[in-house]
């Protein structure tokens, strides 16, 4: 049957998609807000991992300043990974995920909203907390802007890629370790360009190239990852 899409119809369709996006985002943020431990645990983990390096390797300011970009980035990456498992877990356990899959709404939008909510609860606070770690690890002040900008551009990509792993393992009882195995190799480009951006900022080299690459990866992830996440969710739930 052929449908004639009038301007108003397409407008209302746009609105309903937008409404769906906001509704899912609001719901997930509300859920996260009500369960605050999930919000704070990755942040505490982030701080603790960064504390381990001066204790385990060397407390020398010169040495720490040199490794600070990498340490902060690796800690942020691990903290994101740690929070990933819970992304679809509770929805899967109480059956919400199945209802979402059955609903006529585009899964792409739902998934994108959920990942965005997850990022606002993990990547964004991590980015805001990063300068503190930078100071603790004697990162030169010139590097701070590079650190925050690279985390701001990089952590959403981490959330998007991690969500693929979370979606693939949501049906399994022990998904935690498996997620890291699946996702860590895919995180490597983000890590490389993220730390390179910070190092370039410290040494005063131009940053635009690294930010462009991080932004390109984010754009690619934004377009492609929800497709993979949706496919993975359908497979995990139906299997």
Partner 1 sequence: MSEKKKWLPRWFYQLASPRWSYDIMGKLLPGFALVALISLVVGTIWALLYAPADYQQGNSFRIIYIHVPSAILAQSCYMLMAVAGAIGLIWKMKVADMVAKSCAPIGATMAILALATGAIWGKPTWGSWWVWDARLTSMLILLFLYLGVVALHSAIESEATAAQSAAVLALVGLVNIPIIKYSVDWWNTLHQPATFKLTERPAMAPEMWMPLLVMVIGFYCFFAVSLMMRTRNEILIRERRSSWVKELVGKQ
Given candidates 53, 73, 88, 193, which one binds partner 1 under the rule CB under 8 A?
193
Given candidates 112, 163, 168, 202, which one binds partner 1 under the rule CB under 8 A?
168
Q: Considering the complex, what minimum distance in angstroms separates the CB of residue 142 from partner 1?
A: 22
Instruction: Establish if 219 lies at the interface with partner 1 (CB under 8 A).
Output: no
Instruction: Establish if 13 lies at the interface with partner 1 (CB under 8 A).
Output: no
The dihedral sign for the CA sequence 119, 124, 129, 135: positive
Nearest residue to 81 via CA among 122, 36, 52, 117: 122
| Strand intervals (E) in 45-111 | none
DSSP 96-142: HHHHHHHSSS-HHHHHHHHHHHHHHHTHHHHHHHHHHHHHHTT--TT
**In the complex with partner 1, which residue's Cβ is closer, 87 or 129?**
87
Nearest residue to 140 via CA among 201, 209, 50, 194: 201
**In the complex with partner 1, which residue's Cβ is closer, 30 or 227?**
227
Given candidates 13, 30, 212, 224, which one binds partner 1 under the rule CB under 8 A?
224
Binding site for partner 1 (CB under 8 A): 161, 164, 168-169, 171-172, 174, 178, 181-182, 184-186, 188-189, 192-193, 196, 213, 217, 220, 224, 228, 231-232, 235-236, 238-239
């Amino acid at each position: 049957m052929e449908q004639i899409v009038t301007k108003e119809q397409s407008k209302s369709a746009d609105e309903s998609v937008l409404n769906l996006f906001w509704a899912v985002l609001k719901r997930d943020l509300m859920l996260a807000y009500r369960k605050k431990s999930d919000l704070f645990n990755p942040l505490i983990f982030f701080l603790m991992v960064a504390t381990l390096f001066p204790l385990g390797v060397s407390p020398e300011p010169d040495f720490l300043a040199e490794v600070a970009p990498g340490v902060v980035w690796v800690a942020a990456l691990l903290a994101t990974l740690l929070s990933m498992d819970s992304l679809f877990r509770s929805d899967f356990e109480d059956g919400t995920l199945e209802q979402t899959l059955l609903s006529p709404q585009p899964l792409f939008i739902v998934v994108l909203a959920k990942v965005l909510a997850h990022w606002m609860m993990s990547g964004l606070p991590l980015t805001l907390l990063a300068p503190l770690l930078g100071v603790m690890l004697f990162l030169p002040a010139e590097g701070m802007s590079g650190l925050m900008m690279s985390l701001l551009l990089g952590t959403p990509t981490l959330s998007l890629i991690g969500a693929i792993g979370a979606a693939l393992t949501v049906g399994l009882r022990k998904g935690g370790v498996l997620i890291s195995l699946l996702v860590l190799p895919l995180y490597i480009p983000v890590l490389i360009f993220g730390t390179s951006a910070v190092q370039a900022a410290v040494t005063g080299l131009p940053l635009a190239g690294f930010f462009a690459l991080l932004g390109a990866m984010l754009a690619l992830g934004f377009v492609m990852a929800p497709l993979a996440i949706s496919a993975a969710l359908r497979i995990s739930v139906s299997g």
